[in-house]
Structure 1
């Protein structure tokens, strides 16, 4: 009799779980284009939620007024400039690809000169064309993602409004969703919020600082399309390990190709010693202030994130990768200890 009851309960549980996964998968498939907007809304919620709470408790403002002020202020300070940057990238992405096309032609010409002079075969022409094709495709995907990210800002703000208005309910719901005990769920939510905050602030700030550092030398050396190269430097600087080298090395090679050897050498040395040093020093400072994220985690996260969400993946990709590792850690904390205790008690 007990076996029949357990069987019926187990069957109903399995049927319910399958229904949840089926409906969840169906919703995910048809709403996948809104995931960047949802992630952006939660990121803004982490960044702005404390200000709303402070206005309510310290300055005795109503929640609606506090939300309106915070959302309007953040839009004017951060997102409106991002909108104009997106427009510049959209209008000049063809020019950016032409610049990199010129860079590859210069590299190809230099290699051909070495091959003719020393009678050696250094580089397969088809391999170089494949590399250029891959970079062109990736750059186009990234720039298109930037435009889509700009258009998704307004949807993110709509979701953000309801998140801020139902702040307590959202936090309780997130804690209940985690399949962990109360203590571990609260700690995990705190770690996730810290992770989102450090990536949302740290990654763009590093890109902007290196972009400004690069813009100074672009203007001094009279590099054509200096503002465009500034934006390119900001974007590629968010990619760890390679980073800003994807900008200043092509610029220096283009200068060499135009027989401006002195300016090309200055650009190369400045990029390696100054821009690279700014990245290392500033990244260490941010890690001490906001939290340490290993460069390899950021690198693999960027690779996955760009493929999933385009431009916004530069930020959300590392968060996704770090969240995977974080959940694995909490799994061990939640269940492995219990398994050891159970086994010891049996013995």
Structure 2
């Protein structure tokens, strides 16, 4: 009877309480997202702030301001340099785009001319083609509407995004500046046994999460640099633009750089640029091998986990949550490891 009651309670909790709890947590994080990001940025900048306060004997408020200026200023400077070069390549690409479109038009025209014979000879095939073309037209129309609505949504969200960035930067400064006061206030407000324990767990989880983000940033940066350098070596005109695009796609699980490389290489082979297509395939394989070889090791090195544990977390996450589980799995492993470490397990 007791076991049955426990099972019923667990079932009701899983069906009713846990989903509501997840919704509440998600909504809370969404509303407080500027402050959550600010806490992460403050933790990320803490080593640099500590360096200034200890080595230069700088006050903590001054160290916070200098650290934010150096890091964010450096990021803005690098983005400015990349944007300048990117604009030059995009302008050049827009001018020379017709000469790239012309072979595509000729290929499609030739394919249509060759397909006319089969179109008229086989009525069933022609009906299927007409039906598929109608479906494609509807899908394209739907995509166009979706893109237009998305652009309007993005445009309407710009003021809110700017306000969010400003709030995040201000909150980051105060989180860094008054870190000791906030910790002291937390310890006073919470009961003594749990205050320190929760604080330790939060520190461990946040530190491990930042380590995971740092590991992913290293891998994505490596992929981007490999792509840019490789494209320059094989003689691509728009190496920086395409390399940055490949780096952006590297964030996407499963697809990654393949979403750019494989269609590009396939079109090069079809259009007669066989040597260039083969070079693209070789470059993609090189980037893929390096990524697969280093991913588990880099993540494990930053988190202090065995590569097999990281690999298992990614696989289990994929099975449980789908593609997003490749990210969720390691994050859950990080949280579990950090919580156990904060609770003093395993014992030395």
TM over 0.5: yes
- Displacement of 1:157 in angstroms is 1.9
Q: In the alignment, what sits opposite 2:283?
A: 270
Matched residues, number: 283
Residue aligned with 1:196, SS: helix
Shift of 1:319: 7.2
Q: String of CA shifts for 1:86-145, please: whole Å, max 9, x gaps.
A: 7959x96x97xx99xx8xx89x9699889x79x9999x664798599769968x969x69
Q: Could you say what the CA RMSD is over the residues aligned between the two structures, in angstroms?
A: 5.5
Match of 2:58 in 1: 61
Partner Cα distance (1:156, 1:262) in 2:
49
Taking structure 1 as reference, are residues 247 and 297 closer, same or farther at Cα in structure 2, changes over 3 Å only? farther
Which residue number in structure 2 is paired with residue 38 of structure 1? 35
TM-score (norm 2): 0.59
In the alignment, the residues of structure 2 paired with residue 153 and residue 298 of structure 1 have an alpha-carbon distance, to the nearest angstrom, of: 31
Cα gap change, 1:74/1:325 in structure 2, threshold over 3 Å: closer, same or farther? Answer: closer
**CA deviation map 1:308-341 (0-9, x unaligned):** xxxxxxxxx947993698379969x99xxxxxxx
**1:211 is matched with which residue?**
224
What is the deviation of 1:286? 1.4
Tell me the residue number matched to 2:298.
286
Alignment match of 2:46 (pick from 44, 49, 72)? 49
Aligned to 2:214: 201
* Residue 264 of structure 1, CA deviation: 0.6
Q: In the aligned structure 1, how far is the partner of 2:144 from the partner of 2:181?
A: 45
Note the residue ranges of structure 1 that are not aligned, 5 or more in a row: 1-20, 306-316, 335-347
Structure 1 residues 296 and 141: alpha-carbon distance in aligned structure 2, compared to 1, 3 A threshold: farther
- Residue in structure 1 matched with residue 5 of structure 2 by the alignment: none
Larger radius of gyration: 2
Gaps of 5+ in 2: 1-19, 344-348
Q: Is the 8 A contact 2:219 2:291 kept in 1?
A: yes
Task: Summarize the Cα distance change of 1:75–1:204 in structure 2 as closer, same or farther, 3 Å threshold.
Answer: same
Shift in Å, 1:153? 4.5
TM-score w.r.t. structure 1 length? Answer: 0.59
Corresponding residue of 1:157 = 169
Which position in structure 2 is the counterpart of 1:245? Answer: 258
Query: Does residue 1:322 correspond to 2:331, yes or no?
Result: yes
> Would the aligned equivalents of 1:202 and 1:290 in 2 still touch at CA under 8 Å?
yes
2:12 alignment partner in structure 1: none
- Output the CA distance in 2 between the equivalents of 1:136 and 1:77: 39
Kept in 2: contact 1:41–1:157 (CA 8 A):
yes
- The separation in 2 between residues aligned to 1:234 and 1:242, in whole angstroms, is 12
Cα distance per residue 1:207-262 (max 9 Å; x no partner)? 12111111123223333432221111111112233222122113212322432122
Distance 1:82 1:214 in 2: 18
- Distance in 2 (CA, whole Å) between partners of 1:161 and 1:155 is 10
